[in-house]
Structure 1
């Protein structure tokens, strides 16, 4: 069963910082790489040294820690990743920022902390306990394929993490967004509350595919962050 704190974070009002839907930068190049029969053929397609570099700093918004951001190097954003079955993500979490509860249907996710103090929550499947870890610099945790997971920067300073996923097309499903996409009466039934005002409760849920959000009131109050601050 999801513990109380995880459930609280799951349903907090969300204020997202940026659109994080990955757009394919060069569909023709990706298609050619997918059709390449040999490594030799791949090198004849990726002919420049620059084709083998992904710069996480390029076009980086100045507010990437307000509240945070996720940046993926995968087959869509970095064509050289085609065929390697991997995604590398840069996670930037400002003070009290979190990644809301979500899962990846096609990838296990390994996250290592570079800076900061970040708490994670993970629910693998029905009837198993919630796993919570604290990631400080040099520590790593695993979110198995399909597991629901969330994380929050507990500190008043920025947190920086690197995430590795074993798919070049991981997929992401935000739990609240997915739940609120079904019929209102089914949502009320799921909560065991036939009088739940679904439209009011869900009116502030952001669009799917966006980045991080501000997290718990406790952390925001401790760090002096206003809910209206963006």
Structure 2
């Protein structure tokens, strides 16, 4: 096959695969098998408008833990997000409320302050700290995978909405990973340079063992 014909053949082949893969949506079928690529697609004939509507963010979250309540609209909550690469969450912060240091390995994040005053920031892989106190209407972006946090810096409740560049951004909270797990106390003490007694106390707070 000569070069022009080969180029045309490859173009047509790629085009065929491209059109075969294109579909309007892939609503998550929670009863079907799940793969690293996501949930299976619900039968289009069984999809309804309710698959694309989620009402869970209209109610304030419980602020009893860390004085912060987080409500997510990830693909595990909202089937219409499957395959679309977006999601959203709500955070309610009581005075003194904290969203502790955490990271999202699967997504970048934009935080919007809707009510109140919030001090927030992230730490780069070079250990540079980017810190800012935000007011109503301000936004900040957190690059994918970097540790970040938010603290209510005012004297009234704060409300923030967070959007993600993935329908399943993942979550790892630093404190929970260390003190809410069964990682042995002596290893945490050695790797964090904390006193073992402090580690045990924190494990008691976060429900860890070991």
TM-score normalised by structure 2 residue count: 0.71
How far, CA to CA, are the matches of 1:76 and 1:94 in structure 2?
26
Structure 2: gaps spanning 5 or more residues = 1-27
- 1:46 aligns with 47
Over the aligned positions, Cα root-mean-square deviation in angstroms equals 2.7
Distance 1:187 1:34, change over 3 A: closer
In the alignment, the residues of structure 1 paired with residue 52 and residue 151 of structure 2 have an alpha-carbon distance, to the nearest angstrom, of 32
SS in 2 for 1:170: coil
Query: Where do residues 40-79 of structure 1 align in structure 2 (5 Å cutoff)?
Result: 42=44, 44-47=45-48, 49-57=49-57, 60=59, 64-66=62-64, 67-79=67-79
Give the 5 Å matches for 1:52-201. 52-57=52-57, 60=59, 64-66=62-64, 67-125=67-125, 127-180=126-179, 181=181, 182-192=183-193, 195-197=195-197, 198-201=199-202
User: Aligned with 2:112: secondary structure?
Assistant: strand
Equivalenced residues, count: 173
* Cα deviation, residue 113, structure 1: 0.8
SS of residue matched to 2:196: coil
TM norm structure 1? 0.66
Higher helix share: 2
Q: Which protein is bigger by CA-based radius of gyration?
A: 2
Q: Distance in 2 between matches of 1:81 and 1:192?
A: 42
> What is the distance in 2 between the residues matched to 1:177 and 1:200?
13
Q: 3-state DSSP class of the match of 1:102? A: strand
Cα distance in structure 2, aligned partners of 1:191 and 1:72: 31
Unaligned runs of 5+ in 1: 1-24, 208-230
Larger relative contact order (CA 8 Å, sep ≥ 6): 1
**CA contact 2:98–2:150 (8 Å) conserved in 1:** yes
Aligned equivalents of 2:188 and 2:129: distance in 1? Answer: 23
The runs of 4+ residues in structure 1 deviating greater than 4 Å are: 33-37
State the SS of the aligned residue for 1:51. Answer: helix
Give me the whole-angstrom Cα distance separating, in 2, the residues matched to 1:138 and 1:123: 23
